Structure 1
Amino acid sequence: MSKTNQSPKTVHADERIRLNVIGMTCTNCSAGVERVLNRDKGVEKASVSFANKRAMVSFDSTKTDIDTLIKRIQRAGFDAIVDDEFHREEMEAAQKASLQKLQNRLIISALLSAPMLLGMIFQMLGSNAGWVNFVHTPWVQLLLTTPVQFWIGSRFYKGAYTSLKNRSPNMDVLVALGTTAAFLYSFYNGFLGGNPHHLYFESSAVIITLILLGNFFEERAKSRTGAAIKELMELQAKTAIRIDEEGNESEITIEEVVIGDLLLVHPGKNIPVDGVVVKGHSTIDESMLTGESIPVEKGGESEVFSGTINQSGIITLRATKLGHESTLARIIKMVEEAQGSQAPIQKIADRVSAIFFPTVVTIALLTLVITWFITHDSAKAIMHSVAVLVIACPCALGLATPTAIMVGTGLGARNGILIKNGEALERVSKTNALILDKTGTITEGQPEVTDFIALNTTSEQEALTILTALERNSEHPLGKAIYRYGSAQCDSLPEVSNFN
C-alpha cells in the first residue's frame, strides 16, 4: 500500500470516514465496493457513490480501522485514499491526470477509427475511390483496430475481470464480450478462410471510441460540478495574524492556529476561523451563510464565522472552532455528502442494474439461436447477437440519478442553495407550496433605491447630488445603493472634504 493511502495520525477514526475510491468504471463497481465494505463486521453502514467516486463509511473503531477498510477495497481490485485536507490536492491532481489520460486515448482511438468509419460510409454511398478500397483491406483494418481493441480498450477488459471476480458483472463485461466477438469474427473472415467481405473491425473500434467519448463527457461534467465545492473552499483563509502574550503580531498558516489563539482581522479580510470577538467593533458580511446582504454589527463577545468578510473595523477574535469543526467546513461536508447520497428512486435503478447483465446475455444467446434458425446464416446470427451485447449498456440506467443529484446539489451550492441529501431533492418535485423568509432568496441579494423624495428643500436634484457625493466612498450596502442610484441621475458630483 502506498504512503498516500496511509491515514495520518491527525485523522480521527470517529466512526465516520470519507474515502475517495479509485478505479470504478460504472455503478456495478460502486455496488461491489459497497458490498465489500458492508461485509466488514465493524462497519455499521457503507454507501458508495459512483457519481463522485466516494465511499461514506460509518464504523465501530474498536472492531475495524481505516487501513483495514482500504485493504478490503484494494483486494476487490480498486484503490482508495482518505478524503481529507491532507490528501485533497493529491486527489485533485490524480483526477486531473486521469481525465487528461482519458482525453488522450479518446483522441488516438478516434484517429484510428475515423478512416474505417469514413471508408464504410463512402462505400455505402457507392464510392470506388482508391483510399476507400485501401481501408477495406483486411490487414489495414487489423492494424488500425488492434491498438484500439487491446490497448485503448484494455480498461474494459480490466473492469470486466474485476467485476466478474467480485461476482457483480457490469457494462465492461458486455463491451468486452461484444467487441471481442466482432474482432475475432472479422479476423477469422479476413485471414482464416472466412468471407473477406464480412469484416467488422470498424464496428468494434467505433463502439469503443463512442463509449470512451461518453465516459469522457461524464468525467468532465463531474469534474466541473466539483468546482462548486472548490469555490466554497476558496472562502477559507489560508493565513491568519496571531497576537502573542506580549502583543506581538505574526502571520501564520491556518493549520498553525489552535483553539484559544488571539487573531487580528483587518477590514476586507476573511474571518480565518470561527471565534468570538474580544476587542474592536466592525460590520461583518455574512451573506455566504445567511443570504442577508446587510452586514451584521459585531462587538465584544459576538460570534464570527470562518469565510465571512470583515468590512469596516479592525477586530481581535479568540479562536473557538478549527478545521473540520468550523461552520464553513460543515457546509462543505454537507454538500459533499449530499452529492454522494442516494435518492429513493436510485434504489429501484440499482435493483434493475443488478439483473441487467444476465438478462442481456440471455437475450443475446436467444438472438443468436433464433437468427440462425430463421436465416441459416451464421455471420448474420453472430452480428445480431453482438449488436445486442454492445448496445444494451446499463450505464445510463444506473448513472442518471446519481449524476443528476451531483450536478443539482453542485449548482445549488454555487448559487447559495444548500441541499441536504438526494431524498430532499427528490421530494421537492412533490412540493405545492414554498415559503421563503430570507432577503436575497427571491430578490437581487443587495439593496436598491427605487424612489427618491426630497423634503424641506427647494431643489430635489441638489439634495440628491449632495447625498450621492457623501456616499461615494461608503462601504455600507445601503450607502453603495444610494451612490449607484444617484450617480446614474447626476451629471457631476462635488468633492467632499473633512468627512467624519
Structure 2
Amino acid sequence: MALTFDAASTGDMSAFLRRREDGRAGLDLLVTGARCAGCISKIEREMLRLPGVESARLNLSTGRLALGLTSAAVDPGHVIRALGSLGYPATPFDPGAALQQRDREGRQLILALAVAGFGAMNAMMFSVPIWAGLFDQELGPATRTVMMWMSGAIGAPCAVFAGMTFFKSAWRSLRAGRANMDVPISVGVILTLAISFSETFLNGRDAYFDAAVSLLFLLLIGRWLDHKLRSSARSAAGDLLALQASSVSLLDASGRERSVPLSEVRPGDVLRVRPGDRIPVDATLEAGDALLDNSLLTGESVPERVAPGALCRAGAVNTAGLLTLRARAASEDSALAAIARLIEAGAQSRSRYVRLADRAAALYVPVVHAAALATFAGGWAFGLEPREALIRAVAVLIVTCPCALGLAVPAVQIVASARLFRKGVLVKSGAALERLAEVDHVVFDKTGVLTEGRPALIHTPSSVIAMAAPLARASNHPMSRAVVRAAGDGPVAEAVVEHAGLGVEGVINGRRARLGRAAFVGVTTARPVETELWFGFEDGPKVRLRFSDTPRPDAARAVAALRERGLTVEILSGDQAGVVETVAKAVGICDWRAGLLPQDKAGAVDALTAAGRKVLMVGDGLNDAAALARAHAAIAPGSAIEASQNAADLVLTDDALMAVVEAIDVARSARRRALENFGFAALYNLVAAPAAMIGLVNPFVAALAMSGSSLVVTLNALRLRSGR
C-alpha cells in the first residue's frame, strides 16, 4: 500500500531527485486524489508558487507529477508536505506502486458501484409503492411510513459506504481550506439523507433515500468509465515499457555475470545481451556481432548492422550473436521510455479546450454554492417552508455538478490518443490534435516520406563505394545507409560532424573527407540533387554517387484521400526538378517545388501561413526540422531523425502514409466530439439549474439528470474508439 508523508515522516528524500548537469534537478511524485481538470490546475498552480520549483506538470492518466527544480538543494519533503496540505497525498513516483494504486482504486470503485447498485435497486423497491400512493392508489399513511423506513434502512447504509470515495476527497479538500467538486456532491448527498430521515420520522410526504444512492450509483459509473478510459491510455505506454526485460545480465569488475533488476542499471554498467533478447537500456556496443531489429523504434524492417562504439537503443532486438554493451542511460531515460512518455503526454495536455474547461470548472464551486444559498434564502423569503426551500437548494447542489464539463475534453483526448496509437500514430499532445483538425493544406517532403526512403545505389564503382563507406557508416541518412548496405562491414571515420541538410565530414586514415551535397563537398558546377551524394577528400577529386528511390505503395491512395477531405497537397523537396516531377505524377500531386534548402522549406511554410493557410508538414530529415517547427501541425515518420521527431506533433510508428489520413480523421472527429460535449454541458446547466431553483426538479430527478450528463459525454467520447 502506498505511504503518505507528513511533516514528521518525510525526512531526507534527496535520493529521489534526478540531478542534471546544469545544476537543476527533477522530481517525479505519485499524486493521489486528483480527478479532474480543476485538480490539475490547482496542483500545478500551487506547486509553481513553491520556492525552487520552476515547472510542474501533472498527468492525470498516470498520477505522475513531474517537477522541474532550480537546484538539487530543494527539499522534496517540503514539496510533498505542500501537496498534503492541499489535500493530495503524494509519494515518490514508482511505476509498481502506481500500478498497485490504480488496481486498488479500480477494485474500490467496483465494490462501491456494486453496493450502490444493490442499494438503489432495493431502496427503489420500497419507493415505488410510495410513488403509486401519490396517484390515488391504495396506500395508507402507516404503510407509506413503513415503506420509507425500509427504504432508509437499505438505502442510507449503502449511500454512506458508496459515498466514501466522495466524502474522503471532500474532507481532504476542506481540511486544506479549499473546496473541490466533491464537496457539493457530498453536501448534497448528506443533506438528502438528513431530509429523508426527517421526513420519515415526522411522517412526511417524501423521502429521497433512493435518490441519494441512485446519484452515487450513476456517479460511480462515470468514475469507473473514466478510470477505464485512463487505463486504456496508460496501457499503451505500459505495453511498450513491458517490452523491457524485468531483469538484465550485468558483468561485474571481475567479469562475472549476474542478474539484476532493470531499475538498478546505471550509466557505465557493462551488460550482456543474448541473441533474441531486446536491448534493455540505451547502450554503447563494446563487443560482439550486432545486427539489430529497430522496427519498434524506427519502422525500419531491415536489421541494422552496428559497429563497436555505436549506440544501441533500448527496445531493439539482437538478431545476431552475444553482445557486450556499456549502459549510457538508466531505464527511465531510454529511447523506449521516451516513446512511452510521448503517449502519456498525449493522454492529457493543456489544449485550448482543456484550458476553457479549467476556467469554467474553477468558477463552479463558488457559483453553485451561492446559487444553492440564494435558492434556500429566496424560497424561504417568498413564503416557502424551510423544508421545501432546503429541498430545492439540495436539488441545485446535485443537478449543477460540472462533471460533464470536466470530462468533456479529457475523455475525448484519451480515446483519440489510444485509437491513434493502435493505428500506428503517437500523439505528443492533445493541442496537436486540435491543430491537426484545423489544417487545410498538406506539405510533403519527398525522400523518405512519399518515397520508400531506402534508396539503392546505381551505376557506382565499388572502389568509390569503399572510399565513401567510412563516412556513410557514421550517418543515419537513408542514402548513407544505402552506401553501407552496398559496402558491408568496415571501419568508421573519426571526428565525424553532421551538418543539417548538407552532409557529413570526418577523418579517414588521417585525411579529412566530406560526403553530402555537391556544394558542401566542393563541387560548384553541379545543381543540388537529393537523389545523389558527392564524396571527396579535402585536396582530392570529387566523385558522384547516384541513387534511385520508389514511391511508397500507399502514397497515391493517401494523397487521393486527403483531397477527398478538402485538403490541398504540395511537395517541397531539395531534389532536382525532374526527379520531383516524376514522383509527383506517380502519387497524383500537381503542386511541387524542387531544389529547396532547409531555409527555403521553412520560408515556404511561413509564406503559406502568412497567406492564411493552416499547414500540415510531413517530413523526416534534418532539412525538414525547421519547416516542421513552423507548420501549424507536423508529422514525422518513425524512421525520421530525432530532431524531426522532436519538432513534430505526431510520430508515425510504421511509416504508412494512410496513417496521416487516419490522424486527420480522428482529429476532426475528436474536435466534433469535444464541441458536442461542451454544447451539451452548457445546455444542460442552462436548463437544469433554473429548473431546480423554481422547484421543477427534486433531488431524485437531479441525481438522475446530473449523473446522466456525465455518462452522455463519456459515451460520446467512446464513439471515437470505433470510428463512428
Q: TM-score, normalised by structure 2?
A: 0.54
- 1:184 corresponds in structure 2 to 194
For 2:173 and 2:346, the matched residues in 1 are separated by 27
- 1:473 corresponds in structure 2 to none
Is 1:92 aligned with 2:99?
A: yes
Which of the numbers 165, 174, 185 marks the counterpart of 1:155? 165
Instruction: Report if aligned partners of 2:236, 2:343 keep a CA contact under 8 Å in 1.
Output: no
Is 1:325 aligned with 2:326?
A: no
Is 1:232 aligned with 2:236?
A: no
Query: Residue type of the partner of 1:53?
Result: G
How far is 1:348 from its partner?
Answer: 1.7
How far is 1:215 from its partner?
Answer: 1.3
The DSSP-based 3-state class of the residue aligned with 1:16 is strand
Instruction: Report if aligned partners of 1:267, 1:313 keep a CA contact under 8 Å in 2.
Output: yes
The DSSP-based 3-state class of the residue aligned with 2:18 is coil
- Residues 284 and 153 from structure 1, CA distance in 2 versus in 1: closer, same or farther, beyond 3 angstroms? same
Is 1:296 aligned with 2:312?
A: no
The DSSP-based 3-state class of the residue aligned with 1:389 is helix
Is 1:388 aligned with 2:401?
A: no
For 1:381 and 1:259, the matched residues in 2 are separated by 68
How far is 1:95 from its partner?
Answer: 1.9
Instruction: Report if aligned partners of 1:5, 1:82 keep a CA contact under 8 Å in 2.
Output: no
Is 1:216 aligned with 2:216?
A: no
- Residues 5 and 110 from structure 1, CA distance in 2 versus in 1: closer, same or farther, beyond 3 angstroms? farther
Over residues 23-57 of structure 1, what are the superposed CA-to-partner deviations in whole Å (9 max), with x where a residue is unaligned? Answer: 23444333333333222122123233444433222
- Residues 378 and 246 from structure 1, CA distance in 2 versus in 1: closer, same or farther, beyond 3 angstroms? closer
For 1:62 and 1:301, the matched residues in 2 are separated by 32
How far is 1:328 from its partner?
Answer: 1.6
How far is 1:393 from its partner?
Answer: 0.9
Over residues 415-469 of structure 1, what are the superposed CA-to-partner deviations in whole Å (9 max), with x where a residue is unaligned? Answer: 54222223223212112344484569x979xxxxxxxxxxxxxxxxxxxxxxxxx
- Residues 237 and 49 from structure 1, CA distance in 2 versus in 1: closer, same or farther, beyond 3 angstroms? closer
- 1:474 corresponds in structure 2 to none
For 2:195 and 2:59, the matched residues in 1 are separated by 38
- 1:12 corresponds in structure 2 to 18
Aligned ranges for residues 197-216 of structure 1 at < 5 Å? 197-216=205-224
Aligned ranges for residues 29-178 of structure 1 at < 5 Å? 29-61=39-71, 64-83=74-93, 87-121=94-128, 124=131, 137-178=147-188
**More divergent stretch after superposition (401-410 vs 372-381):** 372-381
- 1:485 corresponds in structure 2 to none
Over residues 168-187 of structure 1, what are the superposed CA-to-partner deviations in whole Å (9 max), with x where a residue is unaligned? Answer: 42321221222222222222
- Residues 250 and 81 from structure 1, CA distance in 2 versus in 1: closer, same or farther, beyond 3 angstroms? closer
For 1:153 and 1:404, the matched residues in 2 are separated by 27
Please, what is the CA RMSD of the aligned residues? 3.5
**More divergent stretch after superposition (96-105 vs 430-439):** 430-439
How far is 1:107 from its partner?
Answer: 0.8
For 1:176 and 1:256, the matched residues in 2 are separated by 45
Over residues 122-153 of structure 1, what are the superposed CA-to-partner deviations in whole Å (9 max), with x where a residue is unaligned? Answer: 665678799xx689623212212322343332
For 1:386 and 1:304, the matched residues in 2 are separated by 62
- Residues 215 and 342 from structure 1, CA distance in 2 versus in 1: closer, same or farther, beyond 3 angstroms? same
Instruction: Report if aligned partners of 1:27, 1:395 keep a CA contact under 8 Å in 2.
Output: no
For 1:172 and 1:345, the matched residues in 2 are separated by 23
How far is 1:289 from its partner?
Answer: 1.0
The DSSP-based 3-state class of the residue aligned with 1:429 is helix
How far is 1:258 from its partner?
Answer: 4.8
Count of residues paired in the alignment: 437
Aligned ranges for residues 257-268 of structure 1 at < 5 Å? 257-268=265-276
**More divergent stretch after superposition (229-238 vs 376-385):** 376-385
Q: Which runs of 5 or more structure 2 residues have no equivalent in the other structure? A: 454-551, 555-724
- Residues 443 and 174 from structure 1, CA distance in 2 versus in 1: closer, same or farther, beyond 3 angstroms? farther
Query: Residue type of the partner of 1:44?
Result: E
How far is 1:269 from its partner?
Answer: 1.4
Q: TM-score, normalised by structure 1?
A: 0.76
For 2:325 and 2:401, the matched residues in 1 are separated by 57
How far is 1:282 from its partner?
Answer: 4.3
Aligned ranges for residues 352-367 of structure 1 at < 5 Å? 352-367=360-375
**More divergent stretch after superposition (230-239 vs 161-170):** 161-170
The DSSP-based 3-state class of the residue aligned with 2:58 is strand
- Residues 376 and 142 from structure 1, CA distance in 2 versus in 1: closer, same or farther, beyond 3 angstroms? same
How far is 1:227 from its partner?
Answer: 1.0
Over residues 53-89 of structure 1, what are the superposed CA-to-partner deviations in whole Å (9 max), with x where a residue is unaligned? Answer: 3322222235622111011111222211222xxx221
How far is 1:377 from its partner?
Answer: 6.0
- Residues 249 and 429 from structure 1, CA distance in 2 versus in 1: closer, same or farther, beyond 3 angstroms? same
- Residues 234 and 140 from structure 1, CA distance in 2 versus in 1: closer, same or farther, beyond 3 angstroms? same
For 1:121 and 1:89, the matched residues in 2 are separated by 48
For 1:252 and 1:429, the matched residues in 2 are separated by 46
Query: Residue type of the partner of 2:351?
Result: A
For 1:258 and 1:354, the matched residues in 2 are separated by 43
The DSSP-based 3-state class of the residue aligned with 2:284 is strand
- Residues 256 and 44 from structure 1, CA distance in 2 versus in 1: closer, same or farther, beyond 3 angstroms? closer
How far is 1:365 from its partner?
Answer: 3.8
For 2:411 and 2:189, the matched residues in 1 are separated by 27
How far is 1:236 from its partner?
Answer: 1.3
Query: Residue type of the partner of 1:75?
Result: S
**More divergent stretch after superposition (120-129 vs 414-423):** 120-129
For 1:307 and 1:399, the matched residues in 2 are separated by 34
The DSSP-based 3-state class of the residue aligned with 1:418 is strand
For 1:62 and 1:10, the matched residues in 2 are separated by 10
Which of the numbers 402, 412, 422 marks the counterpart of 2:410? 402
Over residues 394-418 of structure 1, what are the superposed CA-to-partner deviations in whole Å (9 max), with x where a residue is unaligned? Answer: 1221233234334444444455422
- 1:457 corresponds in structure 2 to none
Instruction: Report if aligned partners of 1:51, 1:403 keep a CA contact under 8 Å in 2.
Output: no
Instruction: Report if aligned partners of 2:200, 2:207 keep a CA contact under 8 Å in 1.
Output: yes
Over residues 262-292 of structure 1, what are the superposed CA-to-partner deviations in whole Å (9 max), with x where a residue is unaligned? Answer: 5443332111222233444343211111122
For 2:227 and 2:234, the matched residues in 1 are separated by 11
Query: Residue type of the partner of 1:117?
Result: M
For 1:271 and 1:330, the matched residues in 2 are separated by 15
Q: Which runs of 5 or more structure 1 residues have no equivalent in the other structure? A: 445-500
Percent identity (aligned): 28
Which of the numbers 421, 428, 438 marks the counterpart of 1:420? 428
